[in-house]
Amino acid sequence: MSPFGVATPAGQPYKAAPSNYSGTETVSSYDSDVVDWVLVSLRTNISDANSVVYKSAALLRKTGTVTLVSACPLLNPSQSYSVVVEHRSHIGAASHQPIAIVANKITYDFTLQQSYIPINVPSSGQQKVGSVYCLFAGDCSKASFSEINANDATIWRTDNGKFPRYQLTDFNLDGNINANDDTIWRRNNGKFSGITF
């Protein structure tokens, strides 16, 4: 780390509002392919954020694979669950349909198809890059309604020029806050989700 660097806080980064997730997930040292933390949850009703039966901060790897660091939940094996993934500076997404438990596992790949978009809220869903569906980057100012807008750019302007550090406004996650992040914000400005996170 350069003398300008600021140490990354220990543990999962979703303790503050609006996530208010108090989980104690932490790792003593990160594997070299770990990119960031995401927040993974399961819901019985995708339209109701209060129907969450499980939530955990998990490690996102370069391949896109998510690794849990906490215990797996005990779930009703006959029920299907909407899989939700959230990220501190991207618009979250939910599985396109509830997912059944097969052999004691819920398996879902967000990259393969467009995620859940409420019928009555024709929102942005995920961004398709080539054949891969991704989360939209640029939503560092989280509101009850997830949207990439001027509020996100305002925070980016405050942080522009900072390096290397773990900051919400580092939209491309390279450790530096600069014009490359603003370029992403400009491309995604106006994108929003119809899901209540």
Please choose, out of 20-28, 70-78, 88-96, 133-141, the segment that lies near Ca ion by the rule CB under 5 A: 133-141
Place of tokens 């490690």: 59
Instruction: Report in angstroms how near the CB of residue 167 gets to Ca ion at its nearest.
Output: 8
Of residues 168, 147, 169, 152, the one with CA closest to residue 160 = 169
Per-residue tokens: 166: 């773990």
Per-residue tokens: 131: 């054949």
Closer to Ca ion by Cβ: residue 106 or 153: 153
Q: Is 181 in the site for Ca ion (CB under 5 A)?
A: yes
Q: Is 172 in the site for Ca ion (CB under 5 A)?
A: yes
Q: Is 174 in the site for Ca ion (CB under 5 A)?
A: yes
- Helix runs in 138-178, H state only: 150-159
Q: What is the per-residue binding string for Ca ion in 147-166, x denoting contact by CB under 5 A?
A: -----x--------------
**What is the Cα–Cα distance from 19 to 13, expressed in whole angstroms?**
9
Residues that bind Ca ion (CB under 5 A): 139, 141, 152, 170, 172, 174, 176, 181
